[in-house]
């Protein structure tokens, strides 16, 4: 079995399960936000701030952010390994693929840290 250093779980089944589980978390978060908007039609900044000041919502938001990062990484890794191959790109495909994956990883970490700062910052 061939494994890749840049693969998240070292197993296609594990990555598939992580992506499906993260999609469920993302869907639940979307329903939570949508439900809070529908149940409070006159929501203003004070209501919105109170919603996100609760620790339960902060933890749910952090879990969702982690799920989003894992979901995005697996998706972009799959795109890079499926479409950035030697046949389409040429002899430098490995370099281009690793550069693409490194850029995606860096961007994912930046977004994760930025999101943590937004949810847990002052």
Domain boundaries, the chain: 12-120
- The DSSP line for 53-80 is HSHHHHHHHHHHHHHHHHHHHHHHHHHH
Q: Which of 29, 35, 37, 100 is nearest to 65 (CA)?
A: 29
Number of Cβ within a 10 Å radius of residue 67: 20
Residue 121 zone, left/alpha/beta (φ > 0; ψ -120 to 50; rest)? beta
pLDDT in tens, the chain (122 residues): 445 555 555 678 899 999 999 999 999 999 999 999 999 999 999 999 999 999 999 999 999 999 999 999 999 999 888 887 766 656 677 888 889 999 999 999 999 999 999 988 85
Whole-prediction pTM: 0.83
> What would the CATH number be for the domain defined by 12-120?
1.20.1300.10
> Which pLDDT belongs to residue 8?
55
């Amino acid at each position: 079995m061939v494994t890749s250093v840049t693969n998240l779980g070292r197993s296609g089944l594990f990555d598939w399960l992580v992506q499906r589980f993260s999609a469920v978390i993302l869907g639940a978060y979307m329903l939570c936000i949508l439900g809070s908007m529908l149940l409070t039609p006159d929501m203003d900044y004070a209501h919105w701030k109170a919603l996100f000041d609760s620790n339960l919502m902060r933890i749910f938001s952090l879990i969702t952010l982690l799920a989003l990062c894992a979901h995005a990484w697996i998706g972009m890794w799959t795109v890079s390994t499926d479409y950035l191959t030697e046949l389409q790109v040429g002899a430098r495909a490995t370099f281009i693929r690793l550069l693409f994956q490194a850029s995606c990883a860096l961007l994912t970490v930046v977004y994760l840290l930025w999101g943590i700062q937004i949810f847990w910052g002052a």
